[in-house]
Amino acid sequence: MIKFSDKQLKIPNLMKPVYLATVGMSKFGRAFPETRTEELCIQALTDAADFVNMTPAELKQYIHTCYYGHFADHFGDQLLGEAVIHDRLGLDPLGNIGVKTGGATGGSAMWEAVKAVASGYSDCALALGWERMDEVPTDEGNHLISAAADKDWETPLGHIYTGYYAVMAQRYWKVFGKEEDSFRRTMAEVSVKNHGYARMNPHAQAPMKITVDDVIKSPIVADPLRVLDCCLMSVGSACGIVCDEKTAYEITDNPLRIYIAAGSHTLRVADRRDMTIPLLPNETPNQYDNLGKEFPGADRYPGFTGFLAARMAAYYAYRMAGVNDPTEDLDVVELHDAFTISDIQTYEDIGIRPYGQGRDYIESGDAYVINPNNNKPGALPSNPSGGLIGCMHAVGATGLMQIAEIGYHIWNRWDDIHEPQAKWDAFGREKPSDWTSLQVNGAKRGLAISHAGVGSHVTCTILMDPNKILKED
Amino acid sequence: MPKTEEEKGFVDVVNGRYKPKGKFHISEANQPIFNKDTGKLAGVTNPRDMTYIHSYGGEAVFFESLGKGKLMATRCDNDNCETKGSIYQPFRIFCPDCLRRATVIDMTEIAQKTAKIHSFIVTHRSGAFNSLPKPIKFINIEFEGVVTILMSVLAVGDPAIGKRIVPIFNTKAPTYTITDLRFVPEGTLESELPEGFTF
């Protein structure tokens, strides 16, 4: 569609408030040659039980339905992997279903779980995701990932997904980045920030203390993207449990309100047609009338420079949750930094900055836990987990890891998860001597973006302290 | 190692059904995976040699035409569709708005006269089963009067946004895949084209 009816633009409505009661994560890594997937999933669910001082058996007593995020079952040569995990978690005979929306799979699994509770079908639902991409040689893995593009029109072109994606990065680089060295360095800053934050996270796969020059000199993947501009390929699991109000307060004294919405756009970027920009609450009509003059080549929307699916997920979610301006109304975000440049694109799609000005979110220091320009708290810290670049991208689990991480900040328990020496030891990872808390102090509201491939599916999840909601029910 | 002719699988359609002939998989025993540090068993390999059988359906005319040097597209001609007249490349069997079957048109001349690069990327990496020479120069192509931006590859020279290009076709030994279509800069000589390709 390039025009929307009023019915299609209806703001989604949850029939009752939904709460996030607990979350959990496994260790994340590039490969687990001596660990079965179910061991990682049980690790995540046990972690969620630990978080609310329950045994797994006690927590399971509340669960009524299960939504499993697992994208690439062709990697494991195992269909109905969801049934395997469901059995190993000891949750038969509860109803369960698998969700597959590429990189947005974790967010989409949560989208389904929230609707199950909101509708009254379930009082408590589990969203649990996982992925493992370590069980084929890398070139066959590249082929299997490229099968998420169009089989006839794209996959035969090199069997390499990065190629289908990077044409968008190139266009953004030329049009909005104007091929400036300063923009290239800003892209690199995203990687430096996220790899650096990963150093404080025992779950994270790629902690690194690096510089902008390290990123710019790392091996080239597809110009202007280099290895350190790109997300990780990971194995691991994460989960979240959502409930109605009564059940949530039975599990914990401090559940969080959860809102979530989804958008989509063409699987092939080739199919994108020109359309009017759907406006977010903090944007004004005619705001973008001169975008094509200011940035020659930006006269097509979404063209190759925006993600319509992200824009629509935010369009729905902000109005659901009463968010007017994300920088003003939110305290912390976890974004889908598949690539440094797509992270910058997303700042614009979700209204942190207007289209064309995404780089300012990094350059201003707003995106940091501590703003490097003034050593004061950043206005809206982004990806303190390390994100997909520094922490993990275990596809089916990624969106759920992001939601968990936002939850830890609002619960004011980020340190409980990331600081204990015992966890660093259990994961076989060395805790840095300069370990620093990344808890966003006073965080009451946050957002997570879960995003598929070239933008075919995106979910926008918003978490809030129930005493700090922005819109009356 | 490439399969011999005897080892290849072929398929025809006879009386409305697929009729496979030849070999479609070669069985290979699994192998154990040991941890070299501990000497303990970690798992096993699961070798697979699979051939998928795939229908092009209503897009078959597009892929067959490439081997004849023609670039086919579709156009919505439904008087009641608000986007009537839109030309789609990639070829769409049905209009995405009214869901009526679109009209197949030959847009070879439009491509020859108006194609230019919208975006591009050069990569030295590929996945398993890649048949294109590296580096692969991915391009997305704008055509006048076409509402979409086709993805293909540049076979000669270096890509740049706005560069005028023209289509070339694998007419001498078509594979009947999208790789039978590639593009070259306007002014490229026939002698510079990849083997098997013609304008």
The span from the CA of A61 to the CA of A45, in Å, is: 13
Q: Is B16 left (phi over 0), alpha (psi -120 to 50) or beta?
A: left
Chain A contact for B41, CB < 8 A?
Answer: no
Least confident span in A10-24, A68-82, A191-205: A68-82
DSSP B3: P
Could you give the angle at which helices A340-349 and A161-175 cross, rounded to 10 degrees? 60
Say yes or no to pLDDT of A403 above 90: yes
pLDDT of residue A62: 98
pLDDT over 90, % of chain A: 93
In-domain check, residue B34:
no
β-bridge pairing B32-34 and B150-153: unpaired
pLDDT digits (tens, 9 = 90+) for A205-258: 999 999 999 999 999 888 888 999 999 999 999 999 999 999 999 999 999 999
In-domain check, residue B45:
no
Structure confidence at residue A133 as a pLDDT band (50, 70, 90): confident
The torsion angle over the Cα atoms of residues B187, B191, B192 and B196, rounded to 10 degrees, is 120
Find out whether B65 and B41 touch, Cβ atoms under 8 Å: no
- Interface mutation vs chain B, best among A8, A35, A150, A159, most B CBs within 10 Å: A159
pLDDT of residue B7: 80
Structure confidence at residue A107 as a pLDDT band (50, 70, 90): very high
**Phi, psi torsion values for A125, nearest 5 degrees:** -130, 145
Residue A262: other Cβ atoms inside 10 A: 22
β-bridge pairing A95-99 and A445-451: unpaired
In which residue are the tokens 């339905």 written?
A: A65
What's the Cα-to-Cα distance from A274 to each of A1, A5, A47, A304, A341, rounded to whole Å?
Answer: 10, 17, 46, 10, 22
In-domain check, residue B143:
yes
Chain A contact for B81, CB < 8 A?
Answer: no
- Report the gap between the CA of A124 and the closest CA in chain B (Å): 37
pLDDT of residue A465: 98
β-bridge pairing B41-44 and B32-34: antiparallel
List the single residue in A with minimal CA-CA distance to B131: A158
User: What residue numbers bound the domain in which B193 lies?
Assistant: 59-198
pLDDT of residue A232: 94
Q: Which residues numbered 150-179 in B keep a CB inside 8 Å of some CB on A?
A: 150-153, 161, 177-179
DSSP string, B35-53: -TTT--EEEE---------
Contacts of A161 in chain B (CB under 8 A): 127
pLDDT of residue B190: 96
Find out whether B149 and A269 touch, Cβ atoms under 8 Å: yes
pLDDT of residue A76: 86
pLDDT of residue A24: 98
Give me the number of domains chain B comprises.
Answer: 1
Structure confidence at residue A44 as a pLDDT band (50, 70, 90): very high
The H or E element spanning position A130 is strand A124-131
- Tell me the one-letter amino acid at A24: G
Q: Which residues contact A331 (CB under 8 A, 6 or more apart)?
A: A380, A381, A409, A410, A440, A442, A443, A444, A445, A446
**What's the alpha-carbon Rg for chain A, to the nearest Å?**
21
Q: Which residues contact B129 (CB under 8 A, 6 or more apart)?
A: A143, A159
Contacts of B153 in chain A (CB under 8 A): 157-158
In-domain check, residue B39:
no
Put simply, the answer to whether B151 touches A268 (Cβ < 8 Å) is: yes
Find out whether A333 and A387 touch, Cβ atoms under 8 Å: no
Q: What is the mean pLDDT of residues A317-333?
A: 98
Say yes or no to pLDDT of A1 above 80: no
pLDDT digits (tens, 9 = 90+) for B129-160: 999 999 999 999 999 999 999 999 999 999 99
What's the Cα-to-Cα distance from A169 to each of A181, A451, B55, rounded to whole Å?
Answer: 15, 15, 33
Report the CATH number at residue B156. 2.40.50.140
Residue A35: other Cβ atoms inside 10 A: 18
- Report the gap between the CA of B189 and the closest CA in chain A (Å): 24
- Tell me the one-letter amino acid at B176: Y
Q: ipTM, 2 decimals?
A: 0.89
The span from the CA of A291 to the CA of A294, in Å, is: 5
List the single residue in B with minimal CA-CA distance to A33: B42
List the single residue in B with minimal CA-CA distance to A74: B48
Structure confidence at residue A384 as a pLDDT band (50, 70, 90): very high
pLDDT of residue A275: 95
Q: Which residues contact A327 (CB under 8 A, 6 or more apart)?
A: A352, A366, A379, A380
Chain A contact for B83, CB < 8 A?
Answer: yes
The tokens for B111 are 């491509």
The span from the CA of A290 to the CA of A303, in Å, is: 16
pLDDT digits (tens, 9 = 90+) for A363-382: 999 999 999 999 999 999 99
Q: Which residues contact A10 (CB under 8 A, 6 or more apart)?
A: none
In-domain check, residue B66:
yes
Find out whether B90 and B148 touch, Cβ atoms under 8 Å: yes
Beta bridge partners of A242: A20, A125
Contacts of B33 in chain A (CB under 8 A): 33
Beta strands in chain B (DSSP E): 9-14, 17-22, 32-34, 41-44, 72-75, 87-88, 103-106, 116-123, 136-142, 150-153, 165-170, 181-185, 197-198
Alpha helices by DSSP H, listed for chain B, are 60-66, 108-114
DSSP string, A388-418: HHHT---HHHHHHHHHHHHHHHHTT-HHHHH
- Interface mutation vs chain B, best among A79, A264, A273, most B CBs within 10 Å: A273
- Tell me the one-letter amino acid at A397: A
In-domain check, residue B19:
no
pLDDT of residue B24: 86
Put simply, the answer to whether B90 touches A34 (Cβ < 8 Å) is: no
The tokens for B165 are 């290009």
In which residue are the tokens 């086709």 written?
A: B150
List of chain B residues with pLDDT < 70: 1
Find out whether B142 and B110 touch, Cβ atoms under 8 Å: no
Find out whether B197 and B155 touch, Cβ atoms under 8 Å: yes
Q: What is the mean pLDDT of residues A154-162?
A: 92
- Report the gap between the CA of B187 and the closest CA in chain A (Å): 24
The span from the CA of A365 to the CA of A377, in Å, is: 9
In-domain check, residue B33:
no
In-domain check, residue B36:
no
